[in-house]
Chains A and B, each alone.
Chain A
Amino acid sequence: MSETTSQLLVNLNALATGLFLLTAFGIVAMRQARGCLNLFIIQSLLLAASAALLGLRHESSHLYGVALVNLISKPIIVPWLLRRTASAEIYTRREIDQVLNIPTALLIALALTILSYFLAQPILNAVAPEFRGPNVPIGIAGLLLGAFTLTVRREALPLLIGLLVMENGAFLAGISIARNLPLLVELAIATDGLIIVFISGVLIRAVEKHVGTTAVGELASLKEAAAEPAAKEASK
């Protein structure tokens, strides 16, 4: 592998991770539920691209398998599963009034990204030089941004996407430092992701049917003080 091709691959991988970060920002800020899902699909494609590029660079067939698994499970199967389990209502939702307005949320997301770069430094310094790259900091950023999405959003679909983004982020970091993870394990983790979507979809449908809203993040009646009237209602 020549020097220029190698450098080109490294740069393309950096590009893929950069765009990954951008989609994570988009998921934090995007109002429409449908848009979040599309951004998530793009993000999974970028993850697969990064895995494939790293596989090309380091000639590791494991990573091709990871890329393939990601390519099939997330962009294709996840939306299909969601359509089957959750109601179609969740695709039409938009967050009109938000917990945190968008510029503030984006600024906090930026701060989290900078934080993740600092958090990644010790890890990068401790692994061999060939494993270093933008994957680990951006993977950690993905993890943190996914967690942040979970706190900031109230609609069901963005919350679910936030969970999946966390997993994507952990994976992005993992493909660069834990390269030889057995393929069976990767497959199992992907299946796990699908089961998450399935169960969440069922729960969201149940919430919509029995509670009547898709804003699952808003449900907050179980508290010590408020428990009395709620429990009274439950017990009747």
Chain B
Amino acid sequence: MSRAILFNLIQVLVVMAFAPLASGVLSRMKEIVQSKRGPSIFQPYRDLWKLFHKDEIVSEDSSWIFRFTPYIVFVTPIFVATLIPVLTNYPLFFAFMGDMIGAGFVLALGGFFATLAAVDTANPYGPIGASRTRMVGFLAEPVFMIVFFTVSFVAGSTIPYIVQEKWVTPLANFFTPSHVLLMLAFLMLILAEGGRIPVDNPTGHFELAMIDESKSLEYSGRGFALMKWGGQMKFFVLMCVFLNVLVTPWGLAGGHTLGAVLLAIPFVLFKIFCFLLVLVVIESSLSKLRLFRITEFLGAAFIISVAAMIAQIFLP
């Protein structure tokens, strides 16, 4: 049992440690694609270290929510990381605390507090971004629900480990239309939730056009570091769910030894790297959608997920 707790801890540490790396690799690759040199892939670590050593300035008009939110945003992805398969394909110690829908709600909790904090300050750009984030989140929720409903319908359970077992076994299952459509719908969902192009521009500095970035506009010092890190971890966790449960549930540790678990780390990193490549291609070839076109984008994601559900339920 102590081994299970240890593996769970290793899992959480992996998520915490490698989330900034994923973010750094992504921005570096985007810059390379644009024929620029780009920052070092370890730059996010340096940024976090710098931010932890800076003073924090908090507005006098803000309430406890403003001070409390960075911790929530930091903790919720960690919590989710204990629930989902990151390194192993068998459930770990805390895995039965919550299933995928619970994980979704926990992530939403973090987003909820971040939105509240953005409204909490007197900065006018905060509420603008917050309302837009809520709009995107509101439209993305049904997609989320239907994706997990379909996946659970196939597997007969909502625990991600059991789901992943179902997809792994016959290779032929990879090509079922519901699976492909689900992958597509979830990819669109990741783009929306992670604030990537075509939904939002993560490298933009123009406050009027910000959707996700505006949540951390007012933060500084330690709060800012926690918000940033939390955001990176959330993205990392979503990618893990996507890759380890839906797309490529292979390469996860099957054995119960420490060596097997540690061996799984490079596999996971490799899968994430490949996904980041795909993401770079998507981000570099599309342009940001106008605000009210986002509803169409998410509407299309919804339709695709429902089509996947139909294909799964009605097909023999």
Contacts and interface: CB of A to CB of B under 8 A. Distances in A.
Contacts of B169: none
B180 A19 contact: yes
Contacts of A107: 299, 303
Contact of A22 (B171, B175, B307): B307
Given A15-B180, A18-B177, A134 B296 contact: no
A21 interface: yes
A12 B175 contact: yes
Nearest to A137: B314
Interface string A1-30: 000100110111011011101100100010
A77 interface: no
B300 interface: yes
A134 B307 contact: no
A113 interface: yes
A8 B315 CA distance: 16
Contact of B172 (A11, A22, A106, A110): A11
B142 to A, nearest CB: 12
B306 interface: yes
A133 B314 CA distance: 10
Interface in A61-94: none
A122 interface: no
Nearest to B292: A101
A102 interface: yes
A4 B172 contact: yes
A128 B235 CA distance: 49
A19 B181 CA distance: 8
A15 B175 contact: yes
B247 interface: no
Given A7-B172, A11-B172, A18 B303 contact: no
A103 B180 contact: no
Given A117-B310, A117-B314, A18 B178 contact: yes
Contacts of A179: none
A103 B296 contact: yes
A19 B314 CA distance: 16
Contacts of A4: 172
B172 A29 contact: no
A199 interface: no
A14 B175 contact: yes
Given A14-B175, A15-B176, A110-B303, A29 B315 contact: no
A123 interface: no
Contacts of B171: 8
B316 A22 contact: no
Given A14-B176, A18-B178, A106-B303, A114 B310 contact: yes
B170 interface: yes
B303 A15 contact: no
B123 interface: no
B290 to A, nearest CB: 12
Contacts of A109: 303
A15 B171 CA distance: 13
A12 B296 CA distance: 29
Nearest to A7: B172
B314 A106 contact: no
B311 interface: yes
A133 B311 CA distance: 11
Contacts of B78: none
Nearest to B173: A11
A132 interface: yes
A109 B311 CA distance: 15
B304 interface: yes
A106 B305 CA distance: 12
B295 A103 contact: yes
Contacts of A11: 172-173, 175-176
Given A11-B175, A22-B307, A113-B310, A29 B300 contact: yes
Given A7-B172, A14-B176, A29-B300, 20 more contacts: A4-B172, A8-B175, A10-B172, A12-B175, A15-B180, A18-B176, A18-B180, A18-B307, A22-B181, A22-B184, A25-B300, A25-B303, A25-B304, A102-B299, A103-B295, A109-B303, A110-B303, A117-B314, A133-B316, A134-B311
Interface of B: 170-173, 175-178, 180-181, 184, 295-296, 299-300, 303-304, 306-307, 310-311, 314-316
Which 4 A-B residue pairs are closest in the complex by CB-CB distance? A18-B177, A103-B299, A11-B175, A11-B172
28 contacts: A4-B172, A8-B172, A8-B175, A10-B172, A11-B172, A12-B175, A14-B177, A14-B311, A15-B177, A15-B180, A17-B177, A18-B176, A18-B181, A18-B307, A18-B311, A21-B307, A21-B311, A22-B184, A22-B304, A29-B300, A106-B300, A107-B303, A109-B303, A110-B303, A110-B306, A117-B310, A134-B177, A134-B311
